[in-house]
Amino acid sequence: MDLFPFDAGLQPIPIEDGELALLPQLPLPIDNAEVFARLLRDTEWRHESVVVYGKRHLQPRLTAWHGEAGYGYSGLYLAPLPMTPLLEQLRGAVEGATGHRYNSVLLNYYRDGADSMGMHSDDEPELGPHPAIASLSYGAARAFILRHKRTGRTLKFDLADGNLLLMAGALQQNWLHGINKTVKPVGPRLNLTFRYIA
């Protein structure tokens, strides 16, 4: 049965100074619960530390970096692990849905509402000036925050199980994004950001 009989494509989210689009459910031959369970079980999750304002501290989430090249941010260098068959399958589906190519993926595991990601841009030079970054979410819904660097305008919407969000164009130049902590009871969430590292 086709779950999205009206329009299975990415829906643009109108926004100034950048491109944003959402696909409510990435189509795959396996269901979301199985993707979630396999990613959770088979990933070599690491608790990494980063340097923020000169001080080193543990990130409030677990991560893993897979792909062709290493990647670094905030005093952290991530040596790449090889893509797994499941990550290859997800990459193929995400490339088909977004029309962009990716050679790496950062996996984030938010264990509960105390895990978060500070406001940031994915603007490392190796991503290029207008990177297409495809963000795929499984498990509990969490609020995704976008804040315009110049005007401070803030947008907030949930990223829920199976959602695919494409960030592209000048978005990383002009906007910050992040996931706040929440005191609401929330279950675990996995997020995968597919990137192309030159």
Ligand X SMILES: O=C(O)CCC(=O)C(=O)O
Residue 191 engages ligand X in binding (rule: CB under 6 A) = yes
| 55 SS3 class | strand
Nearest-approach distance from CB 191 to ligand X, in angstroms = 3
Q: Which residue has the tokens 């329009």?
A: 7
| 82 SS3 class | coil
Which residues are registered as beta bridge partners of 108?
63, 191
Residue 132 engages ligand X in binding (rule: CB under 6 A) = no
Nearest-approach distance from CB 110 to Mn ion, in angstroms = 13
Which DSSP string corresponds to 127-186?
G-SS--EEEEEEES-EEEEEEETTT--EEEEEE-TT-EEEEETTHHHHEEEEE---SS--
What span, in angstroms and rounded, lies between the C-alpha atoms of 80 and 189?
22
Residue 117 engages ligand X in binding (rule: CB under 6 A) = yes
Nearest-approach distance from CB 122 to Mn ion, in angstroms = 4
Residue 66 engages ligand X in binding (rule: CB under 6 A) = no
The correct pick among 106, 140, 146, 168 for binding ligand X (CB under 6 A) is 106
Mask 26-55, x = binds ligand X (CB under 6 A)? ------------------------------
Name the binder of 135 from ligand X, Mn ion, none, CB < 5-8 A by kind.
Answer: ligand X
* 74 Cβ neighbours under 8 A, 6+ residues apart: 50, 51, 52
Give the binding-site size for ligand X (rule: CB under 6 A).
11
Residue ranges that bind ligand X, judged by CB under 6 A: 106, 108, 117, 122, 135, 144, 159, 177, 179, 191, 193
